[in-house]
Amino acid sequence: MQYRKFGKLDWQVSALGFGCMRLPVIGEDSGSIDQEKTSEMLRRAIDAGLNYVDSAYVYHEQKSEVALGITLQDGYREKVRIATKLPVWLVEKADDFERMLDEQLNRLQTDAIDFYLMHALDKAKWQKILDLSLLKKAEAALADGRIRWLGFSFHDNLEVFKQIVDGYGGWTFCQIQYNYMDIVYQAGRAGLRYAADKGLAVVIMEPLRGGRLAADLPAAKPLWAQAGNPRKPADWALQWLWSQAEVSVVLSGMSTLEQVEENLVSAERSRIGLLTPQEIALVDQVRQTLTGLSPIDCTRCEYCLPCPNGVNIPRVFDYYNRVAMYDDLEGMRFQYKNFMEDEQKAEQCIQCGECLPKCPQSLPISDWMPVIDGVLSKGQPYQRVH
């Protein structure tokens, strides 16, 4: 296993971290974790030198932390540092912080959580943290040793990311969605460098975009074949991240022992600056090719916002474009249904046309909205060209 700096801490983190959001389950029930397989996978990774394990209060219908706590018995707790998260959206009053933290300590069967995150921060959740003085609660937990270091995970735009980084001096680390397709999405590459320059460790989530970048995508396959050093698609995506000095640890939500073994091999090969300029250019070409499949030429400039009816136009377009980019209609329907807020969906469009003159690309936004609603919400056939 290779190890890397973790911000300003006098501690080295394994290049590969284990994300406990996609553990193996029995049947189709997300809350029915296969404990035997989970323990086998996690302990195999830890035995190979992995020392960072990431969970959250809500993962696997609140069963992920329990499964992790069981796995880390028999001396394995001492071999790793645990990261888990406070579900800020479920917090209604300041005392909920104490209740949830105590629950998490019990689930994990530990007296201290090493890395504690404010989960999935955006502008509204950050304001809630300030309004409820949750940082004071966290500081009290730091002082009494129930948590050791404080950070946050993030899902919003770069401006909000910088506000949160600069809005509190006690952050040790942050966690962002970042991969070779998402260099300008949410915090993106600029956010990665901004946080690292401030001395924060940066934990990477969704390095394979939910597994889509591990697939043998038809549009990318002939490009990968041009490389003199052949790699599997997942290895390309992981090595692209590990080549960047600002990346502290890459989380992988592994679901099978085979994925664990493959990722361990990739992690052992990893180095800062491993990819050559030619290989980085090849990854850029793959990104451009996949992006070029998008039927809607939205640049996410957000000039169309705010929509008077609340539609998040760039995000709606992004979900629709990803269908073609990743050849994954059902996956995008699932994500749109479960991760897109109802009040921001295409169905809220009333065809007022206010957005049309604001779009620098002159996109027929109002025409697209019923098409996207039909495909992603109502099961209508996907249309590549409108």
**Residue 241: CATH number of its domain:** 3.20.20.100
224 and 309 together in one domain: no
Spatial distance between the Cα atoms of 194 and 203, rounded to a whole number of angstroms: 13
Total length of the chain: 386
Whether 197 has a pLDDT exceeding 80, the answer reads: yes
Spatial distance between the Cα atoms of 33 and 22, rounded to a whole number of angstroms: 10
Domain ends where: 275, 304, 336? 275
- Whether residue 282 lies inside any domain: the answer is no
112 and 241 together in one domain: yes
Whether 354 has a pLDDT exceeding 50, the answer reads: yes
Whether 156 has a pLDDT exceeding 80, the answer reads: yes
- Whether residue 314 lies inside any domain: the answer is yes
Spatial distance between the Cα atoms of 154 and 174, rounded to a whole number of angstroms: 8
- Whether residue 283 lies inside any domain: the answer is no
pLDDT at residue 384 in the model: 64
Residues 338-348 pLDDT 10s: 888 999 999 99
Domain ends where: 245, 275, 305? 275
pLDDT at residue 327 in the model: 85
Residues 257-306 pLDDT 10s: 999 999 999 999 999 999 999 999 999 999 999 998 888 988 777 889 99
CB atoms within 10 A of CB 275: 20
Could you tell me the two tokens for 47? 């035995």
Whether 228 has a pLDDT exceeding 90, the answer reads: no
270 and 297 together in one domain: no
53 and 94 together in one domain: yes
Spatial distance between the Cα atoms of 16 and 127, rounded to a whole number of angstroms: 32
In this predicted structure, which of 6-10, 138-142, 218-222, 299-303 has the lowest mean pLDDT? 299-303
- Whether residue 281 lies inside any domain: the answer is no
- Whether residue 206 lies inside any domain: the answer is yes
360 and 329 together in one domain: yes
238 and 302 together in one domain: no
- Whether residue 370 lies inside any domain: the answer is yes
170 and 269 together in one domain: yes
Whether 316 has a pLDDT exceeding 70, the answer reads: yes
- Whether residue 186 lies inside any domain: the answer is yes
- Whether residue 280 lies inside any domain: the answer is no
Whether 212 has a pLDDT exceeding 70, the answer reads: yes
Residue 170: band (very low, low, confident or very high) from pLDDT cuts 50, 70, 90: very high
Residue numbers of the domain that contains 326: 293-386
Count of structural domains, the chain:
2
270 and 298 together in one domain: no
318 and 254 together in one domain: no
pLDDT (mean) for 43-72 = 97
30 and 115 together in one domain: yes
Whether 386 has a pLDDT exceeding 50, the answer reads: no
DSSP 115-182: EEEEEEE-HHHHHHHHHTTHHHHHHHHHHHTSEEEEEEEE-S-HHHHHHHHHT-TT--EEEEE--TT-
175 and 324 together in one domain: no
Domain ends where: 244, 275, 306? 275
Spatial distance between the Cα atoms of 326 and 102, rounded to a whole number of angstroms: 41
46 and 104 together in one domain: yes
Residue 128: band (very low, low, confident or very high) from pLDDT cuts 50, 70, 90: very high
